[in-house]
Structures are given as C-alpha cells and as structure tokens.
Structure 1
Amino acid sequence: MGLMFYCKCSLYFSVLPHSWRNLPWGNKVRDLQIVKDYQPFKEDVQLRFMLYGPAGAGKSSFINSVDSVLRGKIIRRAAADSLFRGSFTTQYREFKIPKAPGTHYPFVFNDIMGLERETGKGVSLEDIKLAMKGHVKDRYKFNSDSPIAEDNQYYNRDPSQSERVHVLVCVIPGSIAGLQNDNNPSQLLTEDFEKELREVRLAARDMGIPEIAILTKIDEACPEVGEDIRNVYKSKYLKKKIEVLSGRMGFPQNCIFPVKNYHSEIDTNDHTDTLILSALRGMIESGEDFVNDL
C-alpha cells in the first residue's frame, strides 16, 4: 500500500518534459523596466486593482510581494498573519507603491477583508460590489452583518474614475483550487463558497471590469515547485489546478497567474520576482485597456 501511494504521488507531482506556458526566465530586468516606464494613456487616471478571495489566500502578502519586487527589498506594509484562521484584514486599505521621493507608481492596490466559509463572517458581497464602484473609502472597517450605509463617513457618494476599480483580482491559494482528489477535502472550495466568488465575478462583468486570478502558495501546493520555482510551468499538478479552476470558476486559463508570495525570505529572488512581474503586467495591461475603452 505504501509503495502504491508513493507511486501515485510521484505521478501526481511529476514534472513535464516541456513547459506548458512560455515564460522566459532571466528577463526580470526587462520586465521590471517595463513596469517602471509605464504611464497610463489617460494621465488623469491611476489604475486601481482590488484583491478579493478566501480569507488567508495571500491577498495582503501579494501586495507586499509586488511592493518588494518594485523596491528591491522585502516589504511588510500590508498586515498579514500566518496563524490567524479567519481574515486578518478587517479594513478597506489602499496601498500606493513609492517610486521616487515624493512620487508613486501610477496604480493602486486595494486590500479587503476575505470571504469566509461560515455564513455571516467575512466581507459582505454587497460591500465588494460597492467598493468596485468606488463607494468605499480607505480605512473603512468592514461589518460582516451589514454593508456600508450611505450616511457612513467612509461612504464615497460621488467616486471619480480613479476611485473606481479597474481590475478585479481573485486570489486563490493553490491548496484549495478545487482538485477533487486532494488529500484534504476540507481544503476544497465548497459549492456555496464558489457561488459567492462567482457572484462577485458576475457583478464585475456587469460593470465591465476585467478580471484575473492569482494562484498563490504554489510552492506549498507542489513539492517540485517548492524545490525549484522554475518548475512552475512544467508542474503537472499546477497545470491541472489551473484547468480545474478555469472550469469551475470560469476564468480563462491565460488569465490565471501562479505566483509565490514572499513570506519567509529576507531578500528578494529573481525567479520569484519574474512570476510576480508577469502577474503585475497582466493586471496593468487589462486595466489600461479598460480605462482606454471608457
């Protein structure tokens, strides 16, 4: 039995002979320069990326990781916690990344409270929809029992184009991306949970907001990637994860970006940076197209 289990796991986590997605390693400097040179075509609009997803998926850690890549050092501005079982983020937070003294990159990240499995906990779907429209101000503390009221001091009655969300980013950890034969069934996305995520997607569709998905914790999900992150697009396991996530949630596969967030490192790594920059460029390109079409 032990040998059979080992053989199945070996096949499940095997590395394919060829990459199933082309990502040239060693181009970090070029990709980083593209982001640094980016300026919105419409000068009066800064892109706004809002992250949502299950509690503990790594939304805050992804913001910190992007910040770390662009500044060349490990950054911990967005509060994250590896022990907290619910959503560690309780406020609507806006993060601008410094570029030079007194200036910032022309895009903003919004971090929100996570969705939780238990009904009545986590961010309400109505708050997510209002935030996408720009009606929620920075530092608003979410209330799981009721969405923000119009008379609340953090309610933005007349949002500008820059205050509205231009790209909706669904953050899903690789450990719960939905494979039915995962060892721990409790880690799967439940049907009710999927319905909530899907409802957010449909609301974004109705607003015309483009979406991408970030698949986090890939080094924990696949041992081969944990050993060498350059195996990410040779991983049979992650390829299947992305196919299943696409089939169950509706994201096109080329809109799903696997990344490894910084969490234990004290220095940045070029290969980790390459994946994060790939996702960031996808967000920028989607947001730019959306703004230009308005």
Structure 2
Amino acid sequence: MGGGPSKMAPESLMDEWRCVWGHKNKDLQFVKDYQPYNEEVKQLRVLLHGLTGAGKSSFLNSVDSALQGRVTRRALADKQLTYKFNKGGPGTFYPFVFTDLMGLEKGTNKGVCVEDIKQAMKGHIKDCYEINPCSKISEDNQNYNKDPTLNDQVHVLVCIIAANTENILDDESVIKMREVRLAARDLEIPQVAILTKIDEACPEVKADIKNVYKSRYLKKVVDDLSAKLGFTLTCIFPVKNYHSEIDTNDEVDTLILSALNMIINLGEDYVNSL
C-alpha cells in the first residue's frame, strides 16, 4: 500500500462504491432499539485491537460521541478495560460494550502480546489486567478468568487500522494481525476492520467527507487490506474519528453509525448461532 496522499491526481475520484448517506437516523434508531435476542447475553462484547496509534481510543470516543450527540472524551490506559455507553439517564446503558487493549507494536517485547489478545477473545482476561509486553498472562494470575461465561467472551473482533501511513502494513505487522485474525476465525468470531484517519490520508476526503466512497486511494487501501488480512470488503469501514472538534457532525456520525450497525448485527448473529 505504498504511494501516498501527496500523489493524489485530479482524477482521484471514482463512482461511489458504497451508499451510506442519509442513513444516519435509521442506523441510530436501530442502535437505540437493539436488544440481544439470546437471553444468556446481557451485552455484546466487542474487542478492539490494532497497531499503536491507529486510533482505537479515538474510535471508542467517536462511537460514544455519535450516540450521545456531543463530543466525548475518555482516558485509556495500558490495561484491558471495558467501556459501557450511556443510554439516556444515569445508570442506563446500551446492551453492548467495547473492550480495549494496549496496541500491537513492531518488534518483540513491545505492545500487547498476541497471545493475550487470543486469551481476551476467549474471555480469560479480567478487566484492569496490567498488560505485560514481555509475556502473556499466566493461568495463576489473579486476573486470569478460568471459567469464562458467554458474557465474558468476545462476540465481535474489531481491527483498527490507520489509512494515513505510508506502507500501512509492513510484513511484521501483517504477520501479527493475521495471527489474531486467524485465531478469531478458528473461534468463529466475526470480524470488522475500521479504517481511521481517512481525512489525513486523502485530500479529497479532507475537503469533503462525502468523497470517502469515491476516493480511488481509499478504495485501493480497502482492497489491499482485504487481500493482505483476509477481511471481506463488506466488513471494512472507512471512518473519520472525532479529534479536535467540539461539536458532532452528521457526516462523521453517519460513517461511525454505519460501522456500529454492522458490528452489532454480526455480534447478534454470532451469539444466536452458539
């Protein structure tokens, strides 16, 4: 995925290859109405993972912002932490949670251990476990959950990838991320890829976010992600996270909610197939 935004040409736009505009209210209502059909599931558990700096925490904040109708911020740490999303009054939450881990990094003894991501998918890691880049969690650790329930297990794996980096995925990153993806596949956990920082990657999108599904550059990135990591094209979602904004935006919300809609549907299908 070499080349870069600086090489964008006037013919950088193509016919729109996905239509999402005008669906914000429909997608938001779907999320508001959602309740898991499986009575054993109190809430869908979504696990976020990706390279450090890809925008995992920003995506979590952006989902919260789109749901709240105002820009929100949450501080994240190098622990496994699970976040609820407020729905209406105090103490009322949406029936899904996002679990966040330290990011993957190039090199050994850096970032989250791939084995820890696998254990988290199975529900073996409790919240607030202090990630150790040098070693995976042991079964005698006090934060190791020996008997995870369906609610502890991950129902959707979401991979966060930044679109604004030259050679977005080097060979080492591909190996680590494919290992995680294949582990999820073996567990039959559905997977979604979120492509962040699209406005930084593509001047046409920065000028008008509605160009996202017309950008030749982003379409190539999406196609390359599908080829390198094995995600289906329908499960790759370009988004713009809230960063410096103080107010929400309909177009930004539309992209976020479109991705969230797919995440919820895939998770619902998964828990009902067990």
Question: TM-score under structure 1 normalisation?
Answer: 0.88
1:32-181 mapped onto 2 (5 Å cutoff) = 32-45=28-41, 46-79=43-76, 89-101=77-89, 102-176=91-165
Q: Which has the higher contact order (CA 8 A, sep 6+)?
A: 2
- In structure 1, how many angstroms separate the alpha carbons of the residues matched to 2:247 and 2:148? 38
Amino acid at match of 2:146: R
Unmatched segments (≥5 aa) in structure 2: none
The percentage of aligned residue pairs carrying the same residue is 59
- In structure 1, how many angstroms separate the alpha carbons of the residues matched to 2:111 and 2:6? 40
Q: Is the Cα contact below 8 Å between 2:86 and 2:93 reproduced in 1?
A: yes
Amino acid at match of 1:67: D
Unmatched segments (≥5 aa) in structure 1: 1-5, 80-88, 177-183
- In structure 2, how many angstroms separate the alpha carbons of the residues matched to 1:50 and 1:273? 21
Q: Is the Cα contact below 8 Å between 1:64 and 1:78 reproduced in 2?
A: no
Q: Is the Cα contact below 8 Å between 2:190 and 2:270 reproduced in 1?
A: yes
Give the corresponding residue for 1:201: 181
Give the corresponding residue for 1:268: 248
| Secondary structure at 1:168 match in 2 | strand
Q: 1:286 aligns with which of 262, 266, 269?
A: 266
Q: Aligned-pair distance for 1:27?
A: 2.7
Q: Aligned-pair distance for 1:100?
A: 2.6
- In structure 1, how many angstroms separate the alpha carbons of the residues matched to 2:197 and 2:179? 24
- In structure 2, how many angstroms separate the alpha carbons of the residues matched to 1:204 and 1:106? 22
Distance 1:227 1:7, change over 3 A: closer
- In structure 1, how many angstroms separate the alpha carbons of the residues matched to 2:52 and 2:7? 31
String of CA shifts for 1:138-175, please: whole Å, max 9, x gaps. 11110011111122121111111011000001110012
Distance 1:252 1:190, change over 3 A: same
Distance 1:153 1:7, change over 3 A: closer
Q: Aligned-pair distance for 1:10?
A: 1.4
Larger deviation, residues 41-50 vs 104-113:
41-50
Q: Aligned-pair distance for 1:281?
A: 0.4
Pairwise CA RMSD of aligned residues? Answer: 1.6
Distance 1:7 1:214, change over 3 A: closer
Q: Is the Cα contact below 8 Å between 2:162 and 2:168 reproduced in 1?
A: no
- In structure 1, how many angstroms separate the alpha carbons of the residues matched to 2:61 and 2:6? 38
After TM superposition, what 4+ stretches of structure 1 lie above 2 angstroms from structure 2?
6-9
- In structure 1, how many angstroms separate the alpha carbons of the residues matched to 2:168 and 2:236? 18
